[in-house]
């Protein structure tokens, strides 16, 4: 990971509220920051509202902008509901994540095969991806969760305790969050093209 690269910057700023947080005890279910939900749902909502105003200022429901405006408002409503239903929940033996989705994904710490950090498609934000033996993936997006510090600290501690193979970026995050010596990375990313 080169200094000054976007990935290096992401590692330095990811889970900023969690750095050195220490033992937190019980982790309650965490939801997304209201501002994050507002941003994601608000973007299509504002464009849809402007389109609706434009349509009604011209020829109303027969205007070409009307179907697009209604579609964007529906998308905004769906994103709002999915955002409100999003959760991050860490228990003693597992983590459960639902991020703008219909279903939750739970992975057991003892069954984890890898922990990697990077941008998760189709999202445009960075996340720790936890993959278990069955191929299930739980993505913990950085800096999206309300009160994420206890959850992220508990996940990082579980990665160390269960000796989960991690890539270089994840080891750096774990070291920063727990304020411990950086674990040895056991996953190496190979570029597709050299």
pLDDT digits over 105-147, tens only?
999 999 999 999 988 777 778 999 999 999 999 999 998 999 8
CATH 2.40.50 fits 6-32+87-178, yes or no: no
Check whether 167 has a pLDDT greater than 80.
yes
Q: Are strands 105-108 and 94-98 parallel, antiparallel or unpaired?
A: antiparallel
At residue 75 the predicted structure's pLDDT band, cuts being 50, 70 and 90, is very high
- What is the pLDDT averaged over residues 161-174? 94
- What is the pLDDT averaged over residues 42-61? 90
DSSP character string of 130-178: EEETT--EEEEETT-BTTHHHHHHHHHHHHHHTT--BBHHHHHHHHHHH
Q: Percentage of the chain with pLDDT > 70?
A: 87
Check whether 20 has a pLDDT greater than 60.
no
> Considering the entire predicted model, what is its pTM?
0.83
Three-state DSSP class for residue 27: coil
Helical pair 168-178 and 148-161, crossing angle rounded to 10 deg: 120
Alpha-carbon distance 30 to 148, whole Å? 7
Residues pairing with 88 in the sheet: 30, 97
Q: Percentage of the chain with pLDDT > 90?
A: 61
**Which residues does 137 contact at the CB level (< 8 Å), separation at least 6?**
105, 107, 129, 130, 131
Three-state DSSP class for residue 95: strand
1-12 burial, b at 16+ Cβ within 10 Å, e below that, comes to eeeeeebeebbe
Sign of the dihedral through C-alpha 133, 134, 135, 140: negative
Q: What are the boundaries of each domain within the chain?
A: 6-32+87-178, 35-83
Contacts by 84-87 with C-beta closer than 8 Å and gap 24+? 84/31, 84/32, 84/37, 86/31, 86/32, 86/37, 87/29, 87/30, 87/31
Least confident of 22-26, 79-83, 166-170: 22-26
């Amino acid at each position: 990971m080169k200094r000054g690269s976007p990935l290096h910057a992401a590692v330095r700023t990811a889970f900023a509220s969690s750095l050195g947080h220490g033992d937190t005890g019980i982790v309650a279910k965490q939801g997304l920051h209201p501002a994050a939900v507002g941003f994601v749902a608000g973007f299509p909502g504002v464009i849809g509202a402007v389109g609706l105003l434009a349509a009604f200022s011209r020829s109303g429901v027969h205007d070409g902008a009307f179907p697009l405006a209604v579609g964007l408002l529906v998308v905004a409503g769906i994103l709002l509901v999915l955002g409100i239903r999003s959760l991050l929940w860490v228990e003693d033996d597992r983590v459960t994540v639902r991020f703008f989705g219909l279903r939750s994904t739970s992975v057991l710490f003892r069954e984890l095969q890898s922990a990697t950090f990077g941008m998760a498609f189709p999202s445009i934000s960075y996340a720790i991806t936890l993959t278990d033996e069955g191929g299930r993936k739980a993505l913990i997006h950085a800096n999206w969760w309300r009160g994420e510090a206890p959850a992220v600290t508990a996940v990082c501690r579980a990665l160390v305790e269960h000796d989960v193979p991690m890539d270089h970026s994840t080891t750096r995050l774990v070291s920063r969050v727990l304020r411990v010596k950086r674990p040895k990375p056991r996953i190496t990313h190979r570029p597709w093209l050299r």
